[in-house]
Amino acid sequence: MKQYLWTLDGGRLQCQSAHNDSETNWLFLPGGPGLGSEVLTGLTSLLKDKIPGVIWHFDLPNDGSNYLKDKPISNWRSSIIQATTAFEKVIWVAHSTPGMYIQTMPELEGVLHGLVLIGSAPDSSWQKTFAEYCKHHVDSIILSAEKEYAENPSNESLRQLLIAAAKYCFTNKKSLLKGKELFKKIPVNHAANEWSSKHFNSENYKATWIPQKTPTLITTGSNDNITSLALFKNNKMYQRDNILIEEIAAAGHYPWFENPKEVIIAFEKFCEVFGL
């Protein structure tokens, strides 16, 4: 039976592993929104014996399978703060859109032990390049799934859209098949996805927090067609001693699928460089 911890505002934590006696707590926040933290199982399993401390999966309130009657996803900010202050030496590991959420929380400076952003972006410019990519790679299956979700939004239509558009996320046939199988199984939450689209206006999104002293790792695959690492690498504001930018070769938006060895190396380097 699964055992969970909840923040006061509905964020849900589940312990995945503990390595040695380190007080560090790694809180893994899944992409989407709308995807359950189960989507990160491959990553956290990969790292469980490679990074010091305790690894947790974190689901925002009413996201993934974390259904709560009186705890809306609009509580995401306070639930992140509550989880951060509940433990010693917290390092957030945020994938994709929730990584953008974290970048609008300057109050985390001086509170976090560290930050890892995977497949995220510092502003909304990622949308233009991704839209251009989609023009040349869209197919009838994706168009049909997009139409169905727009007309009949539900958990199932969102799942079918994720499966149809999986080729945007993965770079080879093997990882694409694994990715589709994962999307078929994990909890999805269309209400969380719709809330984010409505209330977190990605067209106007711009990071309001560039970590000044917080040890930070920014990474994704070299073939990430959604959120290219160039968005950070070409931005002078992210050229800081406390920010490590590592590209994972021959990998996409879920880089641990295609190049797990380099993902491990990136995390180990992050720990070594900043003494975590």
Structure tokens at 258: 């295609």
Structure tokens at 127: 């949308």
d(C-alpha 235, C-alpha 15), whole Å: 35
| 64 Cα distance to chain centroid | 13
28: DSSP letter:
E
Confidence of residue 69 (pLDDT cuts 50, 70, 90): confident
Contact indicator for 27, 91 with CB cutoff of 8 Å: yes
Tell me, what's the pLDDT at 237? 97
pTM: 0.96
Tell me, what's the pLDDT at 200? 66
Tell me, what's the pLDDT at 197? 81
Half-sphere exposure of 170 (CA within 13 A, CB side): 21
236: DSSP letter:
G
Q: What CATH architecture is 5-274?
A: 3-Layer(aba) Sandwich (3.40)
Tell me how far CA of residue 10 lies from CA of 34, 74, 112, 131, 192, in angstroms.
15, 10, 20, 34, 14
Check whether 267 has a pLDDT greater than 80.
yes
Tell me, what's the pLDDT at 185? 96
Domain ranges of the chain: 5-274
**What percent of the chain clears pLDDT 70, i.e. is strictly above it?**
97
Tell me, what's the pLDDT at 204? 79
Structure tokens at 92: 């957030």
Contact indicator for 248, 266 with CB cutoff of 8 Å: yes
206: DSSP letter:
B
Size of the chain in residues: 276
d(C-alpha 5, C-alpha 26), whole Å: 15
Structure tokens at 49: 């014996």
Average pLDDT, integer, range 158-175:
96
